[in-house]
Structure 1
């Protein structure tokens, strides 16, 4: 940790007294050590001792590469047909069914205590970390301290940084070098630190709430979160539906809720032909790709899923994966695109085909990064494909498979 001069600390203290709290944030050119000094006072007010703060922040340096990620979250920047193709594919469904069989007894106990069904809990697990395989590689304290001092939403990340320090001090987290996502989510079901502090459960009874190493704690904590978010036992999240001709798209939107009977009275039906149960509930219509794409009738349980990560594509991924884990069919209505997204197996196949053509993109892993996108773009240009945007879709895959 960098240390500041006495004069600089004095000036900083004076400025904080004069500025409104909303403006008392570090600017990009400010010294990181000064920011940490300021955060120490806030942490102490939340119960983090001076000794703990010094211990856990010793040698901490910012990682400025996290800042661009604030505006590049895939839930908001990726076409929904790409986002869902990679998250709700046959591989994730098969793996999820295997996990449900493996942990059947645990999931029954979790469902009995928290009244959330196994398929939904496992779907969160699958979307968040590929069933514990991918939990993030960025050191939490580094990312959160950087986001606390630079960029936008500093006050939010300061709260998460302090929550992490408290978890370390209390022993809920036992490794100060713990890693997670760039934004600070960590563990098998990717809780933010403040959520971990409020919601995490010690379900295996070992005296620690361990969402990293304990599958029992992770799945129980996820069910606890959904229950506290308003999950209603025995009710569906919603359905893919067929809209009547001339449906007014302005009626759609997650917050534009109407009585379920009103939607059915307007001619909204399930695409699978089954009746919509008469539930005393309000519902909303979602059109994530517009009136010409799939339509969904969503109920209260969808909102509980949505609260886990406030993005429609994310909530739909969990909802649709949970349906597949129950043995139901996937989407029936095609997305309004002539270039649908690729599953992870297809992305890996695409990478293998690029390697065969001499592109040095590393080991094929189904993860489309900058190097793969540049190779795709070069191949698109060679073939006169437009737009040459480096996107991994069915068109470029089929083109490469054709020679």
Structure 2
């Protein structure tokens, strides 16, 4: 009996040792962060009080590796965010806060329906701002090697906000990544752009709608929002379109050039005559909607680096302003798992099409490699991994 138990006992001791090492490593990281905070001018009282209570949150690390912008299909991502219920509520709030929004537009140039769209995407109009401890979430991510530098800086900024007394550590709750308030500002954005619009003496992005919406307007203005342009539009492609021309945001061309290539608006009308640059996006391949996106689309992506997110914001803003749904809905293809994306990248690399590192992120490098493979195979070079293409490359569920 003792002989049989010995391996189990050794295994238990081994697991305990690994757990103890991990715990000690986190504690050591927290101690280093506390030292750095005081070196950067944060009071020792705040650094000690806050960091002595942080906890490592395994769920945060899990979510960091499974962000929906990188794992969902465009159909799933878009249809779950641009819903009829959200459109209807957005229109009600656009009317309810009409004067406030007009004032923000006059000050920043950002139209109200865009601000309402961001509000809807970020927190469902303030109904859910997150319930995770921001100090604990940011410390967990700062002590993880994947993006340690970025989250360490954000943790220091969160401590600065607490140090100046804007909010208590217990009240500083937000998303798993440390985004806070009704518009989900990261601490660095809060420090630069949070505004006390209601005259309370503090910029309260959790409870004050005027503060939250005005701060959002200032943030977008700071990134170069053009008050004379829209974000983009859905378009129709001409019969026989050369999909290799759809190179994404890396390929900006004058709007006149897209007109000359036969692109039309979603209802078949002529594109406007305007001196502006545009890029063509096909987020769901040739079977889905096509979009021409303009400079304000780049600004939206300064808020969130996901094209899916920016398209959802733009279309939700259109709907809130009275527009209709997409003329070409996205096809309901199943989302790709991280393992499938990695297998896709490996298959492309093996065939001599450089998809970059096998990291499970379906970014521009992987899409460019897909286009090259499609062109070589005589397929529509839309850079989209539809089920037929995955089968051809030997990528299975």
State TM-score, norm by structure 2. Answer: 0.76
- Give, in whole Å, the separation in 1 of the partners of 2:79 and 2:70: 15
Per-residue CA distance 1:16-35 (angstroms, 9 max, x = gap): xxxxxxxxxxx956522211
Encode CA deviations 1:275-330: one digit per residue, 9 max, x unaligned. 32222211100000112210000000111111111001111111000000111111
Whole-Å Cα distance in 1 between the matches of residues 105 and 43 of structure 2? 38
Change in CA separation of 1:60 and 1:336 when aligned onto 2, cut-off 3 Å: closer
Count of residue correspondences: 315
2:125–2:182 contact (8 Å) kept in structure 1:
yes
**1:260 matched to 2:246:** no
The answer for the alignment partner of 2:302 in structure 1 is 307
Find the residue that maps to 2:286 and give its secondary structure.
Answer: coil
Of 200, 207, 212, which aligns to 1:206? 200
3-state SS of paired residue (2:278): strand
Superposed counterparts of 1:362-377, under 5 Å: none
Residue aligning to 1:101:
95
Aligned residue number for residue 38 of structure 1: 32
In structure 1, what is the Cα distance between the partners aligned to 2:332 and 2:88?
27
Change in CA separation of 1:247 and 1:58 when aligned onto 2, cut-off 3 Å: same
1:45 and 1:290 map into 2 onto residues whose CA distance is: 51
- Where structure 1 has 5 or more consecutive residues not aligned to the other structure, the ranges are 1-26, 341-386, 388-403
| Equivalent position to 1:114, from 108, 111, 115 | 108
Superposed CA deviations along residues 71-122 of structure 1, whole A, max 9, x for unmatched, are 1011111111111111111100111111111111111111111110000010
Q: What does 1:207-222 correspond to in 2, within 5 Å?
A: 207-222=201-216
**Stretch of structure 1 that moved more, 124-133 or 325-334:** 325-334
Partner residue in 2 for 1:160: 154
Contact 2:231 2:297 (8 Å CA) reproduced: yes
CA distance in 2, matches of 1:318, 1:46: 37
1:276 to 256, 271, 275: 271
1:255 CA drift (Å): 2.2
CA-to-partner distance for each residue in 1:237-289, whole Å, 9 max, x for gaps? 11100112232323320121111111111111101234322222111000001
Q: Is 1:140–1:177's contact at 8 Å kept on the other side of the alignment?
A: no
2:340 corresponds to which residue? none
Aligned with 1:182 (options 176, 182, 196): 176
Shift of 1:56: 1.5
* 1:47 shift after superposition: 2.1
Q: Is the 8 A contact 1:92 1:126 kept in 2?
A: yes
Q: Which aligned segments of 4 or more residues in structure 1 are displaced greater than 3 angstroms?
A: 27-30, 174-177, 337-340
With over 3 angstroms needed to count, the CA separation of the structure-2 counterparts of 1:226 and 1:311, relative to structure 1, is same
The secondary structure found in structure 2 opposite 1:183 is: coil
In the other structure, the counterpart of 1:82 is: 76
Structure 1 residue 42: Cα displacement: 2.1
Find 1:191's aligned residue among 182, 185, 189.
185
- Where 1:60 maps in the other structure, the secondary structure is coil
* 1:342-353 paired onto structure 2 within 5 Å: none
Conserved? CA contact 2:50–2:169, under 8 Å:
no
Deviation for aligned residue 1:338: 7.0
2:55 maps to 1:61: yes
Preserved CA contact (<8 Å) 2:135 2:169: no
Q: State whether structure 2 residue 281 is matched by structure 1 residue 286.
A: yes
